[in-house]
Amino acid sequence: MASLNLSFLIIIFTTVFLAALFLLMGYFWDSPDFFRFVALSLIIILGSFYYFWHNSRQIKSVNIIFDEKIIFSGIVIDYPERGNQQKLIIEFQPPLSGRILAKLKPYPSFDYGDLIKFEGKIEKPFSKDYADYLAKDGIFGVVDFPKTELMAENKASKTKASLFKLKEKIVLSFQKVLAPEKAAFLAGITLGERAEFSKEFKEKMSKSGTTHLVALSGYNITVIGIAISSFFGWFLSRRWAFWLSITAIIGFVLMTGAEASVVRAAIMGGIALFAKEVGRVHSTRNAVAIAAFLMILFNPKILRFDLGFQLSFLALLGIVYLSPAIQKFFRMKKEKGFLGWRENFLTTTSAQLAVAPLLIINFSQFSFTSLLANVLILEAVPLTMFLGFLIGAVSFLFMPMAMVLGWLISLFLAYELAIINIFSKLSLSIAEIGIFGAMIYYLIIVGFIIYEQRTNA
């Protein structure tokens, strides 16, 4: 409500009205659930106050001169986005303060931690939507193709710099053992790296509904956590293996740019590992709530302005709640099926149905054939990811073995790329739904879940 720029008075009035409505409903229906909703409604006021405080604190820390050609300096504080042009997130050096997005030519190439002198004109984002999108990361200005001069290197975190170098070496190892398109796709599904994707390949993934494959997810975290804990479990105590696994997960999150989906997966993965360590029952529902709460507490703007956050949690909620309902509706067996096809079908279908309105509203496209494409491709993706991480590790020890693994993984990548290519030509899409249509859609989904839960209890 606060992110919609509603005044605090309107938010208080709306919240009090909701609380009173739930109070009356609880009194007439004599249900304790409605009294819980009263308390939850009043917490909206606290959440809105926190959003306004966070936004005010963020704006006060910014001192930027707009629309004037000036000379300024700043440090690259995140992994550069490379391709036809470089995109750098710059933290100003005094007397200016705040962050901007700098768009530069591909060369000379800059790295994380570089201190750069710029000469150019800083402008405000061209639209409110773009401004909101950048502001969620604390970015309030854009400078296009200024004059640049490298002043110094390694002026940021040494740990993050080392992790980014490690990422570059892993991507380079993929490029040494695989053809360009296969290496780029493998870098995408293992590390979320998309710099080498061609425009044509991006369009194919969009039309086939497989773009989510290169958005880092829980499987990446699972592979890292299991591999580290299993390896160190051979010669270290369980507690040491646990802490090393947590450290590896945090390192992976930082190395891959801390995207919303991987941060969510890391928090949930950490909770699962902690539950196992202390011998407690792990609840996916509670883990989802804790992950969302911690991420929004850190940055309340992501709830509305970070599409990756929205897609990640909607897909997960679809898997947790919609998947069992679909399974009961079709009376499907609980076994995974041949090569896990049944589990892949339920996971893919529930996740895709959960995010469909969001994809249509933001990208004007959702392909019905993507359900089949994802079922076919997900049969091979987990093993592909595992082999990809293995190649990255082995390449540091014995490159000929990485070459052998590259030949093996090439077969899986060829199959996955073939599926993407075929279904990009068979796309059967819907391009418009609207906000009202999305609300009706989600009400139907929620009703279906509740109906299946009650009738099959």
Which residues have CB under 8 Å from 46's CB, separation 6+?
none
In this predicted model, what pLDDT tens digit does every residue of 72-92 receive, in sequence order?
Answer: 999 999 989 887 889 999 999
The C-alpha atoms of residue 215 and residue 219 are separated, in whole angstroms, by 11
181 and 79 housed in the same domain: no
Of 136, 403, 108, the residue nearest 260 (C-alpha): 136
Spatial CB neighbours of 235, under 8 Å, sequence gap ≥ 6: none
Range(s) of the domain holding residue 420: 167-219+296-455
Whole-angstrom distance, CA of residue 145 vs CA of residue 288: 41
pLDDT value, residue 428: 63
Residue 235 lies in a domain: no
Asked whether residue 423 falls in the same domain as residue 308, the answer is yes
Pair of tokens at residue 36: 């819980």
Distance CA 457, CA 439 (A): 27
Q: Identify whether 382 is part of a domain.
A: yes
3-state DSSP percent of the chain in helix, strand and coil, to 5: 65, 10, 25
Per DSSP, 69 falls in state E
- 80, 81, 85, 86 alpha-carbon torsion, rounded to 10°: -20
Residues 339, 376 within the same domain: yes
Q: Give the three-class secondary structure for 102.
A: strand
Q: Is residue 277 a part of any domain in this protein?
A: no
User: Mapping DSSP to helix (H, G, I), strand (E, B) and coil, where does residue 135 land?
Assistant: helix
Both tokens assigned to 304: 């509305």
Say what the pTM is: 0.81
Residues 96 and 204 in one domain: no
Question: Is 239 within a domain?
Answer: no
Q: Do both 181 and 39 map to the same domain?
A: no
Of 12, 28, 60, which closes a domain?
60
Q: Which residues of the chain register pLDDT less than 70?
A: 217-220, 334-341, 364-365, 427-431, 456-457
Q: What is the spatial distance between Cα 344 and Cα 393, in angstroms, rounded to a whole number? A: 28
- What does the alpha-carbon distance between residue 95 and residue 355 come to, in Å, rounded to a whole number? 44
210 and 151 belong to one structural domain: no
94 and 197 inside one domain:
no
Q: Which residues contact 429 (CB under 8 A, 6 or more apart)?
A: 207, 365, 366, 367, 368
Looking at the fold, whether 31 and 105 belong to one and the same domain comes out as no
Identify whether residues 108 and 191 lie together within a single domain.
Answer: no
Q: Which helix (H) or strand (E) holds 72?
A: strand 69-76
For residue 294, the model assigns a pLDDT of 92
Question: Residues 349, 449: one domain?
Answer: yes
* Residue 330 backbone dihedrals phi, psi, to 5 degrees: -90, 5
Same structural domain, 197 and 52: no
Residue 228, in any domain of the structure: no
Residues 328-341 have pLDDT tens digits of 888 877 666 555 66
The per-residue pLDDT for 150 is 94
Radius of gyration of the chain, Cα coordinates, nearest whole angstrom: 24
75 located within any domain: yes
Report yes or no: 153 and 114 within 8 Å, Cβ to Cβ: yes
For residue 145, give the CATH number of its domain.
2.40.50
**Structural domain total, the chain:** 3
Q: Is residue 259 part of a domain?
A: no
Asked whether residue 446 is domain-assigned, the answer is: yes
Residues 91, 188 within the same domain: no
